[in-house]
């Protein structure tokens, strides 16, 4: 009977922990100071204030998280490289750059929404933030531009055809 209770308790714990990670979290975020750059994190990587990284208690190292500031709508994708925060009420510690992009530097601590991010075209940035610029490849006179090597190739072909015609006439 005791084995059965242990198995049920372990199973429930695993189910709760895995479903908790799939959902969104909301709470307070803080950020690392610039002076903490260079120190080793729990994953073994070195912290740098210009990287888009974070500390989270439960997500595995390397997981990409979408962090949104509901006050201004700014969002950023960060990579989990450390454990923490260990202060009650806080859900995430951000790098200085991530906090700057969210607009929470002046506040120090701000409410955020954290969710796992799976589809990233460009690492650490959401795809909808980027728009590809339209390139105007037309020439100023409006004609379609042809590369010089194409024009030279055409001229050489015409010259060979003319030489071939002259040989036939002889």
Number of structural domains in the chain: 1
Distance CA 59, CA 78 (A): 12
The mean pLDDT value for 125-131 works out to 58
What is this structure's pTM? 0.58
Say whether pLDDT at 17 is over 70. Answer: no
**90 DSSP 8-state letter:** E
Q: Say if 149 falls within a structural domain.
A: no
> Does 86 fall in a domain?
yes
User: What average pLDDT does the segment 94-98 reach?
Assistant: 93
Q: Residue 165: pLDDT band by 50, 70, 90 thresholds?
A: confident
Could you tell me the CATH number of the domain that includes residue 110? 2.40.40.10
- Tell whether 128 is covered by a domain: no
Other CB atoms within 10 A of residue 153 CB? 11
Centre a 10 Å sphere on the Cβ of residue 129 and count the other Cβ atoms it contains. Answer: 10
29-45 pLDDT, tens per residue?
A: 999 988 888 899 999 99
The answer to whether position 41 is within a domain reads yes
- Report yes or no on 40 lying in a domain: yes
Task: Determine contact, residues 117/126, Cβ cutoff 8 Å.
Answer: yes
* Domain enclosing residue 100, as ranges: 23-116
């Amino acid at each position: 009977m005791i084995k059965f209770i242990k198995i049920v308790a372990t199973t429930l714990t695993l189910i709760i922990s895995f479903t908790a990670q799939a959902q969104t979290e909301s709470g307070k975020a803080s950020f690392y100071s610039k002076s903490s750059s260079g120190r080793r994190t729990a994953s073994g990587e070195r912290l740098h204030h210009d990287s888009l990284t974070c500390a989270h208690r439960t997500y595995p190292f390397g997981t990409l998280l979408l962090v949104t500031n509901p006050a201004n709508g700014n969002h950023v994708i960060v990579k989990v490289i450390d454990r923490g925060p260990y202060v009650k009420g806080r859900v995430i510690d951000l790098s200085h750059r991530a906090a700057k992009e969210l607009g929470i530097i002046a506040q120090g601590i701000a409410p955020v929404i954290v969710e796992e991010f799976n589809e990233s075209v460009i690492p650490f940035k959401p795809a909808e933030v980027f728009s590809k610029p339209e390139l105007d490849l037309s020439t100023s006179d409006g004609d379609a531009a042809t590369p010089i090597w194409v024009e030279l190739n055409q001229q050489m072909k015409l010259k060979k055809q003319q030489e071939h015609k002259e040989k036939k006439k002889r």
